[in-house]
Structure 1
Amino acid sequence: MDITIQYAFLPHTDADAALEFYRDTLGFEVRNDVGYDGMRWITVGPPNQPGTSIVLHPPAADPGITDEERKTILELMAKGSYGALTLATPDLDAVFERVQAGNGEVVQEPTDQPYGVRDCAFRDPSGNLIRIDQAG
């Protein structure tokens, strides 16, 4: 079976702050930036992986959710327990320093985990948990 990951979706509460974090801090390229009805969807991805993207979307975009559900989503996002993503890099310390200097909130400094990986963790400007593993 030949399956790849094409898109992952993370909600954002501030399109400009999300763009600054993913483009300027993480170095992702912007693949699409679409506005509609006062909302923005931004597609970003690593320059060396043109087939894999993250779609940063407004949590209010789903017309099927109620105001109460939307409020719950925003509360979970603020706690960092709604959206999550794990990235990998061959130079974890350099990426940690770059993200720490940017607009990410440090959750965990680079740590050797008992389950065999070395990683760190941040929250993006919307509260999504971003873990970064040491690759290789």
Structure 2
Amino acid sequence: MNIDIHYTFLPHIDAEASLAFYRDALGFEVRRDVGYGDMRWITVGPVGSATSIVLRPPVVDPGVTDAEKQVVLDLIAKGSYGAVTLATDDLDALFDKLVAAGADVISEPADQDYGVRDCAFRDPAGNLLRINQK
């Protein structure tokens, strides 16, 4: 039996800024863009990969209070709410591409003590993206 990761979810606070990052800077394809009222769920993923990220509204439960919603937004902005690790065969080239696109750099490419070479960014919502060298 094979099991694959199909979707993972990350919150967005600005759909257009998220599209510019994931589609334009990272080069992901947009697979779905679904709206409901003032909310959007945008499914993106690497071309040729079955794995997708669903960029979703941060809070959709009508039972969440304004104070609770603010806590979630504060955690997202700190990079403490959502995270994903990507992998590439050319970390330095991807790092340079994201820097040129104006991405928020957290750490430059470096060899880590735990055996990987990686770097880190925050997406427009503040989600942490680590990128490993394959």
Coarse TM-score class (shorter-chain normalised): over 0.9
- Deviation string 1:8-53 (CA, Å, 9 cap, x unpaired) is 000000000000000000000000011111111100001120x211
SS at match of 1:114: coil
SS at match of 2:48: coil
Aligned length: 134
**Matches of 1:64 and 1:2 in 2, distance apart?**
38
1:103 positional shift: 3.7
Partner residue, 1:57: 56
Contact 1:84-1:129 within 8 A present in 2 as well: yes
- What are the within-5 Å matches in structure 2 for residues 9-48 of structure 1? 9-48=9-48
Counterpart of 1:100, as a letter, is: V
Q: Which 5+ residue runs of structure 1 have no aligned equivalent?
A: none
Q: Which 5+ residue runs of structure 2 have no aligned equivalent?
A: none
Q: Cα RMSD between the aligned structures?
A: 1.0
**Matches of 2:102 and 2:43 in 1, distance apart?**
19
TM-score, length basis structure 1: 0.95
- Deviation string 1:71-108 (CA, Å, 9 cap, x unpaired) is 11100111111100000000000000011111420000
Counterpart of 2:79, as a letter, is: G
Task: State the percentage of identical aligned residues.
Answer: 66
